[in-house]
Copies of this chain bind each other. A is one copy, B any other.
Amino acid sequence: MNLPFFYIDFLDAQMTAYTLSEETSKHIIQVLRMKIGDCIQLTDGKGNLVTAEIIDDHKKKCVVKKVDFTFLPFQNKKAAIAISLVKNSSRFEWFLEKATEIGVQSIYPLICSRTEKQHFRKERMQTIIISAMLQSKQVWMPVLAEVISFQDFINTNTSEIKYIAHCEEDGEKNTIEKNNNDYTSVMLIGPEGDFTKEEIESAKAKDFKPVSLGINRLRTETAGIVAVTLFNNWY
């Protein structure tokens, strides 16, 4: 995959040509100065990869013709992170970038009792995920869920293996179990100031196991990345 690589929101094995978005067209024609006959690759972030040739180098509505269409199976772990929003958006953006690069299946932005931030610019966050996916040359992108309250999340999540990473003293904590990607996993990551005792108890009642992410007290976004890394390497 050394051709210039772009995102497109819809790909279909039956289509033979695509008109690219204004932004992508500009990038290809004005920034990269590509011409009719040059090739690019496109993904929809859902495993589809198209190699295509430029047939109209319009700088706002570039048209490409399909040369090859491939579907690549999902290779990352079946792991999700449900993580509190944080006050400083750039820290959350950083989490999204790095989590995408390392590999995660879905991300649920949470509002917990102690979450200070309520506002979430989903469109901007989606853009960050797309560029991290392209940058790391993947054809699958994490599914970014709508913001959800802690209670609604734990009441509705159906993952097979569930963890909660919190900093309260809580007896012997678990470590992430190895599994051969046969099961879906999720980990809850709390806000600055941690989950409340009540939240921890309700999560435990819903079969979320307390887990330790190491001896140091981590910021929310750092804990998120540590969790993604461990999910990716402990299977």
Contacts and interface: CB of A to CB of B under 8 A. Distances in A.
A75 interface: yes
A94 B225 CA distance: 13
B226 A103 contact: no
A215 interface: yes
A218 interface: yes
B137 A218 contact: no
A158 B230 CA distance: 28
A141 to B, nearest CB: 12
Contacts of A103: 214-216
A135 interface: yes
Contacts of A226: 102, 229, 233
A219 interface: yes
A101 B136 contact: no
A136 B214 contact: no
**Chain A interface extent, by class:** 20 to 34
A232 interface: yes
B98 A222 contact: yes
Interface string A189-226: 00000000000000000000000011111110010011
A159 interface: no
A137 B217 contact: yes
A138 interface: yes
A113 interface: no
Contact of A214 (B135, B225, B233): B233
A21 interface: no
B136 A225 contact: no
Nearest to A137: B217
Nearest to A133: B216
Contacts of A149: none
A232 B175 CA distance: 13
A216 B102 contact: yes
Given A102-B222, A225-B229, 20 more contacts: A76-B215, A98-B222, A101-B216, A101-B218, A101-B219, A101-B222, A102-B218, A103-B215, A136-B216, A136-B219, A137-B216, A137-B217, A213-B233, A214-B232, A214-B233, A226-B229, A226-B233, A229-B229, A229-B230, A230-B233
